């Protein structure tokens, strides 16, 4: 191993570590390259997931895992295994002249503090505020993009992407720092449109390049949902019309609810009318049909609640 690209990175992992040298395997399937990070103090081993499509006999690319104890400044030596054999890191002149060192740093960890709005229809633009570590969002920003500087590689809502360009106009949705300074780490917000088409509770995160990595979300940025599930953003369905608008208190009225993002799974849809369940008959992404149940005969006219 001659040298590393990225000698420090995010406490949450996701740093794209590139190991340069020679003698690595060019057959990742039959004689795989493997990379491990070993804590210099505790001896704890952390994996680094090899990117097969970006590895050759002269370089290995891998994505770091999170620092187990979230310890700022934790120092790890890089260990490389080719097939069944570890490369010798004791021999003088190998492994960066003795050792290749990688550090987990708080300063290299992107942080997300706030999502606005924190609930919206799928596909609606959201704004992410935090310490994002870079001004660059996409290589499509050709007039200002510098390949030598870090960029936000991807933004996620759950496991789906959140795109920084409008899906219709293809225009950049915007970013900024809202501050007095122009330091690289003070770019505080970016807008994006979630690709996700389902409703539910999600975690928003992002990934930066170079010596950045996966974002961290302070506990104060989360909400607590059903089953103690943590989330910082929700998507919800949209009702456009209900037919008919009135029916018998004794139930038995078939209701058609039109809208968007209902999904297709009947088990995940619940409708109540006047506090009583409306039995689900069918569900499509834009239509729910259900059969009303009897309601309190003393109650006034009550609204439907999806």
CATH number of the domain that residue 7 is part of: 2.60.40.10
Residues 117 and 205 in one domain: yes
Q: Is residue 91 located within the same domain as residue 12?
A: yes
Q: Does residue 96 sit in the same domain as residue 19?
A: yes
Give me 19's structure tokens: 């190991």
What's the whole-number mean pLDDT along residues 165-180? 82
Of the residues 181, 209, 235, the one at which a domain ends:
235
- Average pLDDT of the segment spanning 49-56: 91
101-135 residues labelled b (16+ CB within 10 A) or e (exposed): bbbbbeebbbbbeebeeebbebeebbbbbbbbbbb
**pTM (2 decimals)?**
0.81
User: What's the whole-number mean pLDDT along residues 37-52?
Assistant: 92
Same domain, 223 and 133: yes
CA 120 – CA 201 distance, rounded (Å): 11
Does the pLDDT value for residue 142 go beyond 80?
Answer: no
Residue 197: inside a domain, yes or no? yes
The domain in which residue 187 lies consists of: 111-235
pLDDT digits (tens, 9 = 90+) for 244-299: 999 998 899 999 999 999 988 888 899 998 888 999 999 999 999 999 999 876 55
197-231 pLDDT per residue, tens: 888 899 999 999 999 999 999 988 888 877 788 99
């Amino acid at each position: 191993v001659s040298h590393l690209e990225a000698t420090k990175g995010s406490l949450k992992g996701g740093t794209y570590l590139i190991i340069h040298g020679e003698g690595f395997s060019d057959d990742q399937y039959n004689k795989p390259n493997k990379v491990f990070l070993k804590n210099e103090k505790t001896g704890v081993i952390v994996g680094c997931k090899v990117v097969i499509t970006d590895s050759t006999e002269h370089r290995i690319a891998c994505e770091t895992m999170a620092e187990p104890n979230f310890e700022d400044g934790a120092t790890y030596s890089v260990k490389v295994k080719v097939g069944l054999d570890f490369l010798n890191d004791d021999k003088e002149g190998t492994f960066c002249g003795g050792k290749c060192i990688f550090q987990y740093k708080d300063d290299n960890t992107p942080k997300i503090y706030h999502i606005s709005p924190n609930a919206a229809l799928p596909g609606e633009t959201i704004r992410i505020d935090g310490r994002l570590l870079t001004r660059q969002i996409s290589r499509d920003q050709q007039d200002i993009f510098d390949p030598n500087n870090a960029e936000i590689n991807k933004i996620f809502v759950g496991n789906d992407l959140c795109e920084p360009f409008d899906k219709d106009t293809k225009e950049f949705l915007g970013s900024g720092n809202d501050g007095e300074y122009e330091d690289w780490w003070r770019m505080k917000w970016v807008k994006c449109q979630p690709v996700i088409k389902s409703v539910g509770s999600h975690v928003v995160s992002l990934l930066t390049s170079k010596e950045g990595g996966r974002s961290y979300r302070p506990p104060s940025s989360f909400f607590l949902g059903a089953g103690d599930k943590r989330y910082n953003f929700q998507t919800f369905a949209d009702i456009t019309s209900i037919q008919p608008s009135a029916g018998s208190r004794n139930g038995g009225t078939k209701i058609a609810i039109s809208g968007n993002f209902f999904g297709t799974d009947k088990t995940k849809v619940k409708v109540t009318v006047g506090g009583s369940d409306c039995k689900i008959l069918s569900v499509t992404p834009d239509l729910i049909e259900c059969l009303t149940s009897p309601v309190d005969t003393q109650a006034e006219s009550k609204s439907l609640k999806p």
